[in-house]
Amino acid sequence: MEEQRLRICLLSSNTGIEDILRQIGISFFVADHAKGVSPFDASVLIVGREESSADLQLAKSFPEAGGAILDLGAASEMLTGIQAQKRMRNVLAPKAGVLDLPVSAFDVDAEVAHLGSGSDDWLKIDRMGIAPYCFLGLDIKVMESDRRTAFRRVGHFSGVKPAEEVSRCGHGAVPFLLAAILRRLCNERGLPFAHRWYHPGPHRTVTLFRLDTDFSDRDHIESYRTLIKKHGLKCTWFLHAGAHEKWLGLFRSFDEDEIALHCYRHFNSHDVNLMRSDIDKAVSIMKAAYLVPVGYAAPYGLYDSQIDAHLKANGISYRSDFGRAHDGLPVCENGLLQLPVHPISIGTLKSVKADESEMDLYFETSVQKLSRSFRPVALYDHPNHDLFVQSERMLGVLSALDGMRLTFREWAKFWNSRLSIPADPVLSVDGKIRDENTSDEFPLAVYLRNSHDVILQNRNDILTRLAVDLSVAEKSDDLIALRRFDLQAAKRGFLAKHFWRRTSPDREERMK
């Protein structure tokens, strides 16, 4: 008997997959084709969409020796005898019961490979002799680099259906799909699946709250701050600095809260120079008021990587833009950490004429769905609307959660450390799992066969069980029906008021 490494092997380097494995928190390495890879060296071998035919030899020998394969397309014909067909798909839903998934449908808007003519043939989990095999038709490398946005219905779908301009191919959800597949493949091999837990141990989730201070006056700000204190929450204020220029010093007294940067003037433009000079102006007046921002949230949540270098030069170390990712795990891009937030706020619900009880139901249900499936719960609001009673109730929902309360800066700090210590678990011959970097703050999450539980294991082997509650997962039928509705509505011009903003060459006109 040999020790079993529970890490992942890549047939060749693949930036999209590598980013996602870092988010999941599991060690990986690229195969050395001269030496070969033993199934004791890695639990799963990932084969990309395009691989050289010489490299594919390993995709044959690894499963023959008992290793599991996740195939994004290059090996499917060789291993299954079926040629994959590509089709354009908008939304994908795995067949019910195939995977333990908190997210039951994915926006893709891309060419997806299918191993058959059925609508769910983009995902197939099977066995080839002794080896577990999964075909996944997503071109993850392309999807992960897709920065297009679109208006999407997000969150809890019964009742009101708010939309926001978010990432077009559901960046928040893909890591959970990949983690569920890796878990299934490991378990099919009779092995546990283990990764660095997503949150500081032993918490099942994290709770964050953010305020964008768009056009708010001093009264708005002070009243909202009282609400936050009443609920004992931590808050990160993203300042519309130009609106508070005469009294910026007020924010210095906001101990325990974090002060971050939204803008000087509230606009978003494709003109990079305009954006750069706005950032300079905001940072300079904030610094003059002894406020030093390390975080940035772009107006309207619109992500543009062209300003990343400029943000870094201004001391910014993280961004939070729902146009890049939402309701998911942080990801590092151009050296800046992207911290996803839930994109629907009270203002969005107001714009679709939601009444008080619909707003309550929306936040209660959306927050539950996120937290029960272990996704981060990060909400945002604006202090300048006239629905404080509603804000108070939303904060009540947030403060009732058992997530660890963090500011965005604290979340970034935790996540940067976590990214540097992915789990490298080893299953020893006596059946114990060992991982060097597991600690109380950075536990190891272990998933056993035939169990919906996640077991958190800290350095001293103290175990905490967290039960996945799949009953709160979104119904894929709902999402598919909504996407059809979106398409028809767009054709009728129903969403035209949104579309003009996207096609406008300059986003300067995007004012609330």
Rank residues 94 and 299 by Cβ distance to Zn ion and give the closer one. Answer: 299
Contacting range for Zn ion; rule: CB under 5 A; set: 101-109, 214-222, 225-233, 431-439: 214-222
Q: How far is the CB of 262 from Zn ion (least distance, A)?
A: 6
Q: How far is the CB of 7 from Zn ion (least distance, A)?
A: 42
Q: How far is the CB of 261 from Zn ion (least distance, A)?
A: 11
Integer Cα distance of 102 and 510 in angstroms: 34
Rank residues 75 and 166 by Cβ distance to Zn ion and give the closer one. Answer: 166
Integer Cα distance of 381 and 62 in angstroms: 51
Residue whose entry in the numeric block shows the structure tokens 């590598």: 18
Rank residues 9 and 260 by Cβ distance to Zn ion and give the closer one. Answer: 260
Q: How far is the CB of 107 from Zn ion (least distance, A)?
A: 24
Binding flag, residue 139, Zn ion (CB under 5 A):
no
Burial 205-216 (b: 16+ CB within 10 A, else e): bbbbbbbbbbbb
Q: Judged by CB under 5 A, how many residues of this single chain contact Zn ion?
A: 3
Q: How far is the CB of 331 from Zn ion (least distance, A)?
A: 22
Contacting range for Zn ion; rule: CB under 5 A; set: 25-33, 52-60, 135-143, 210-218: 210-218
Binding flag, residue 214, Zn ion (CB under 5 A):
yes
Rank residues 212 and 474 by Cβ distance to Zn ion and give the closer one. Answer: 212
The phi, psi pair for 166, rounded to 5°, reads: -125, 175
For 148, how many CA atoms within 13 A lie in the half-sphere containing its CB?
13
User: Site mask, Zn ion, residues 165-204, x = CB under 5 A?
Assistant: ----------------------------------------
Q: How far is the CB of 255 from Zn ion (least distance, A)?
A: 24
Rank residues 114 and 210 by Cβ distance to Zn ion and give the closer one. Answer: 210
Q: How far is the CB of 212 from Zn ion (least distance, A)?
A: 4
Contacting range for Zn ion; rule: CB under 5 A; set: 17-25, 208-216, 309-317, 400-408: 208-216
Integer Cα distance of 19 and 177 in angstroms: 14
Contacting range for Zn ion; rule: CB under 5 A; set: 10-18, 55-63, 211-219, 249-257: 211-219
Integer Cα distance of 280 and 286 in angstroms: 10
Lookup: tokens for 175? 């890591």
Contacting range for Zn ion; rule: CB under 5 A; set: 213-221, 269-277, 357-365, 418-426: 213-221
Lookup: tokens for 476? 């894929």
Lookup: tokens for 150? 């679109």
CA 455, 405, 302, 486 torsion-angle sign: positive
Binding flag, residue 121, Zn ion (CB under 5 A):
no
Rank residues 114 and 240 by Cβ distance to Zn ion and give the closer one. Answer: 240
Exactly one of 139, 212, 381, 474 binds Zn ion (CB under 5 A); that residue is 212
Residue numbers 278-317 binding Zn ion by CB under 5 A: 299
Rank residues 128 and 511 by Cβ distance to Zn ion and give the closer one. Answer: 511
Residue numbers 427-486 binding Zn ion by CB under 5 A: none
Q: How far is the CB of 382 from Zn ion (least distance, A)?
A: 7
Residue 288 CB: number of other CB atoms within 10 A?
Answer: 11
Instruction: List Cβ neighbours of 413 (8 Å cut-off, separation of 6 or more).
Output: none
Peptide bond into 202 cis (omega under 30): yes
Three-state SS annotation for 90-156:
EEECCCCCCCCCCCCCEEEEEEEEECCCCCCCCEEEEEECCEEEEEECCCHHHHHCCCCEEEEECCC
Rank residues 211 and 468 by Cβ distance to Zn ion and give the closer one. Answer: 211
Integer Cα distance of 25 and 125 in angstroms: 23
Q: Helix 15-24 crosses helix 174-188 at what angle (to 10 degrees)?
A: 80
Rank residues 144 and 321 by Cβ distance to Zn ion and give the closer one. Answer: 321
Integer Cα distance of 363 and 344 in angstroms: 9
Q: How far is the CB of 323 from Zn ion (least distance, A)?
A: 12
Contact between 223 and 388 under an 8 Å Cβ cutoff? The reply is yes
Rank residues 25 and 383 by Cβ distance to Zn ion and give the closer one. Answer: 383
Q: How far is the CB of 260 from Zn ion (least distance, A)?
A: 12
Rank residues 165 and 214 by Cβ distance to Zn ion and give the closer one. Answer: 214
What does the binding site for Zn ion look like in residue numbers (CB under 5 A)?
A: 212, 214, 299
